[in-house]
Amino acid sequence: MKVLVTGANGYIGQGVVDELVKAGHDVVATDFSLNNVNEKAIKITSNLFDISDPYDFFEKPECVIHLAWRDGFKHNSLNHMTDLHKHYAFIKSLAESGVKRIAIMGSMHEVGFFEGSISEYTPTNPQSLYGISKNALRQSVELLAKEYQFDLLWLRGFYIVGNSEFGCSIFSKITTAAKMGQNEFPFTTGENQYDFIDYDIFCHQIATAISQNEITGIINCCSGKPMKLADRVEQFIKENGYDIKLKYGAFPDRPYDSKAIWGNNEKITKILDRENK
C-alpha cells in the first residue's frame, strides 16, 4: 500500500516508518522536519493543519497512520484541547476524499484510573487533558468511520521501552542523563505496575496491524502483562550498562496513575499469529 505517516520524525514515527519500509509499503512521511526518517520514504515537510486537501497533497495514500500529536508527555497542556478539532478536521478531510483505511495512535491514558486488564470494552474516564482529548478524538472519529465507511484502527499504546534520546519517556530521559555523565536520576517510588513493550516490538505491531484488513477498532499495542515500574527501569539500566542509580521518592506518584494496569493483547496476538502463518 501507499501509506501516509504523520508525525514521522517523532519517537514512534521513525520506527514505524522503518517497519513499513521493511514490509514493502510505499511510505509517505510527513512532519515539520524529517531529518531522522528512513531515506527510502517519500519525505514531505508540512504543517498538517495548514493543508486544505491532504489527500492530494500527500499523493493519494491508500492508508493513513496518524501519529502526529503535540505535547504528548505534557499531560495537562492546553494544546491538547486547542488542537483537538484540527485533528478531527484532518481525519474528516481524508475520509471525505475516500481513504478507506485510517489508523490513529491512541493511549492507555484515555481509560483514566483503572486497575486490571484493559480491553476494547473497558469504560473510559480520562483524568488528564491529554487523555480527554485522545478519548474525544476516538469517539468522534468512530462516528466518521460509520458515516464514511472506512476501516478505523485505534492503536492504543502503553509504556514503550527504548533507549533513544528522541523520546520523552522515562527511558529516553535516563538514556540522556546517563550519556551526560549523571550518576543519579530522580524517581518516584516505582511501585506502580504497567504494561511495558520494547520499542521495536511496538513499531512492528503497528506496521503489522495496518497491513491486514480483518481486525479493526481498538487494538491494544502492548505486551499483555504488568510489571513494576522500578523493576523495569532497573532492568533497563542494567541492559544498557548505564552507570546511574535511581533516587527513589524524589517525585511523588501522580494521583491519576493506576496502581496496576495492562492491556488485553488478544487482538494484536491474533494479528501477529496470522502474519506468521
Mean pLDDT of the chain: 94
d(CA 165, CA 119): 31
Residue 164: predicted pLDDT: 73
Residue 216 belongs to what domain range? Answer: 2-160+197-221+264-276
Q: Do 27 and 145 fall into the same domain?
A: yes
Query: In this structure, what are the phi and psi dihedrals at residue 70, rounded to the nearest 5 degrees?
Result: -90, 140
Q: Do 7 and 134 fall into the same domain?
A: yes
Which of 22-26, 96-100, 161-165 has the least mean pLDDT? 161-165
Please give the grid coordinates belonging to residue 193. Answer: 505496575
Q: Do 26 and 124 fall into the same domain?
A: yes
Amino acid at 74: K
Average pLDDT estimate for 220-232: 96
Q: Do 7 and 114 fall into the same domain?
A: yes
Residue 259 lies in a domain: no
User: Could you give the number of structural domains in the chain?
Assistant: 2
Residue 215 lies in a domain: yes
Q: Do 104 and 180 fall into the same domain?
A: no
Residue 239 lies in a domain: yes
Q: Do 58 and 114 fall into the same domain?
A: yes
Among the listed residues 277, 118, 117, 273, the one whose alpha carbon sits nearest the alpha carbon of residue 205: 273
Q: Specify the length of the chain in residues.
A: 277
- CB 151 within 8 Å of CB 217: no
Strand partners, 218: 154
d(CA 55, CA 57): 6
Beta pairing, strands 245-247 & 196-198: unpaired
Residue 258 lies in a domain: no
Residue 76 lies in a domain: yes
Q: Do 232 and 215 fall into the same domain?
A: no
Q: Do 72 and 137 fall into the same domain?
A: yes
Q: Write out pLDDT tens, residues 102-158.
A: 999 999 999 999 999 999 999 999 999 999 999 999 999 999 999 999 999 999 999
Active site members = 130
Residue 52 lies in a domain: yes
Q: Do 117 and 165 fall into the same domain?
A: no
Q: Is the dihedral of CA 226, 70, 207, 34 positive or negative?
A: negative
pTM listed for this prediction: 0.93
Beta pairing, strands 227-228 & 193-194: antiparallel
Q: Write out pLDDT tens, residues 239-266.
A: 999 999 999 999 988 777 889 999 999 9
16, pLDDT greater than 70: yes
196, pLDDT greater than 70: yes
Residue 252 lies in a domain: no
Q: Do 23 and 150 fall into the same domain?
A: yes
Q: Do 116 and 54 fall into the same domain?
A: yes
Residue 256 lies in a domain: no
Q: Do 37 and 150 fall into the same domain?
A: yes
Strand partners, 116: 261
Please give the grid coordinates belonging to residue 212. Answer: 491486514
d(CA 268, CA 262): 14
The enclosing domain of 156 has a CATH number of 3.40.50.720
Which of 11-20, 29-38, 70-79 has the least mean pLDDT? 70-79
